[in-house]
Structure 1
Amino acid sequence: MMEFTYVITDPEGIHARPAGMLVAKAKQFASQIEIKSGDKTGDLKKIFSVMSLGVKNGQEVTLTFNGEDEAKASAEIRQFMEENL
């Protein structure tokens, strides 16, 4: 299992457009990927699960990766978030 924490820098938080792109990116991997904000946890491969977290600018999220390609998934999702969120 791998995990990293990221603080959202997008002024609008995790909104529809980047959330859709993030979910599409997550679906490229076999690993199970979860996103946690506060006491809420969601499946990163499901758009409604991600949007229901209501993550705003400045909030911290923790992403957890578990599976055969977790190292690659973690690296690529981290890069995506740094570039887009």
Structure 2
Amino acid sequence: MVEQTVTLNNRSGLHARPATLLVREAGKHPCNVWIRKGDKEVDAKSILGVMSLAVGRGETITVRADGSGEEAALKALVELIESGLGEA
């Protein structure tokens, strides 16, 4: 299992479009992936779960992956978040 804490710096946080991009990326990987904000943790492959975290700009989340390809999944998700989740 691997995990990394990352801060969201895009304008809208994890709402609609950015959350969809994150869920799609998580779904590309065969391992289990979770996102935690505070004491709440959700399946990163679930759009409803991700949006239920209500992560805003400047907030910190922890991305955790476990299973086959966990390191590649974590790297891809962290890079996506750090790149602004599709925002220019």
Residue 84 (structure 1) shift: 2.2
Residue 60 (structure 1) shift: 0.5
Residue 72 of structure 2 corresponds to 72
Residue 3 (structure 1) shift: 0.3
Q: Percent identity?
A: 36
Residue 23 of structure 2 corresponds to 23
Residue 39 of structure 1 corresponds to 39
Q: Is the 8 A contact 2:8 2:84 kept in 1?
A: no
CA distance in 2, matches of 1:9, 1:24: 19
Q: Which amino acid aligns with 1:15?
A: H
Structure 1 residue ranges, 4+ long, deviating more than 6 angstroms after superposition: none
TM-score, length of structure 1 as denominator length: 0.95
Q: Which amino acid aligns with 2:47?
A: I
TM-score, length of structure 2 as denominator length: 0.92
Q: How many residues align?
A: 85
Residue 40 (structure 1) shift: 1.0
Matches within 5 A, 1:41-60: 41-60=41-60
CA distance in 1, matches of 2:23, 2:84: 13
